[in-house]
């Protein structure tokens, strides 16, 4: 996502006064500072020039696939976390579940808003990373689609086993399943960062990496 990173660093709006005879914006005009490459000076651009030079961060297939699948991935984490208050025996497990819900619920909202702003070019068509075109072993069906191809997803049987467990057994299953679930999310985020093009998706993926990496360390320490 080099283009997205450049786009994020390009836009620093200021109100400036260009020296007489200069080529930049006139006094009082809005300007944009474009950081130079290593060893080069920054440039002052007009908003029009900046718009032309800003890299195109139009969403590509990797962006669309990541956001669409991560919504479903997060929803399963919420389903698992919702079981903890009545079933977990360890206070630490309940706190982890609360943090997961508090973090991922608003992330789902942000991703659904992004999908509304950037609908897929051909709704319902198969895209790399989606589960269309086959049934993957160990997947769960959500919204009429098989998302078993997503890494870390628990099977329906595993979710049923978790729902039936109580006390220390629930704690053990929850930590094991959720660590695997988070590791899958990190893999998905890494693929988006490597193959995506949209700056907003890059920011969402980086947030997932930061948050869920810390939670993995916390859960492993509890196991």
pLDDT of residue 56: 82
Task: Please list the rounded mean pLDDT of every run of 10 residues in the chain (223 residues).
Answer: 49 43 51 70 72 78 97 98 98 97 97 94 48 34 52 97 98 98 98 97 97 97 88
Alpha-carbon distance of 63 to 118, in angstroms, equals 10
Q: What per-residue confidence (pLDDT) applies to 32?
A: 72
- Residue 138's contacts (CB-CB under 8 Å, 6 or more residues apart) are 148, 153, 155
Domains of the chain: 6-53 (no CATH), 61-222 (1.20.1260.10)
Cβ-Cβ contacts under 8 Å for 136 (sequence gap 6 or more): 146, 148, 149
Predicted local distance difference test score (pLDDT) of residue 148: 55
pLDDT of residue 158: 97
pTM reported for the whole predicted model: 0.70
How far is 138 from 184, CA to CA, in rounded Å?
Answer: 13
pLDDT score of 53: 61
Rounded distance between C-alpha atoms, residue 148 and residue 130, angstroms: 9
The tokens for 10 are 């390009």
């Amino acid at each position: 996502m080099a283009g997205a990173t450049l786009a994020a660093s390009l836009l620093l709006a200021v109100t400036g006064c260009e020296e007489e005879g200069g080529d930049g914006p006139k006094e009082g005009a809005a300007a944009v500072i474009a950081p130079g490459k290593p060893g080069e000076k920054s440039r002052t651009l007009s908003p029009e020039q900046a718009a032309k030079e800003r890299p195109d961060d139009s969403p590509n297939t990797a962006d669309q696939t990541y956001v669409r699948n991560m919504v479903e991935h997060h929803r399963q984490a919420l389903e698992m976390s919702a079981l903890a208050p009545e079933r977990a025996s360890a206070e630490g497990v309940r706190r982890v579940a609360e943090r997961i819900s508090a973090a991922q619920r608003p992330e789902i909202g942000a991703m659904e808003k992004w999908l509304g702003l950037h609908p897929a070019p051909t709704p319902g068509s198969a895209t790399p990373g989606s589960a269309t075109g086959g049934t993957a072993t160990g997947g769960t069906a959500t919204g009429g689609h098989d998302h078993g191809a997503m890494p870390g997803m628990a099977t329906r049987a595993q979710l049923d086993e978790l729902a039936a467990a109580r006390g220390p057994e629930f704690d053990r299953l929850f930590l094991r399943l959720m660590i695997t679930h988070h590791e899958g999310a990190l893999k998905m985020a890494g693929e988006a960062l490597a193959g995506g093009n949209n700056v907003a998706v890059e920011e969402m993926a980086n947030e997932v990496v930061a948050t869920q990496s810390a939670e993995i360390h916390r859960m492993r320490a509890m196991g």
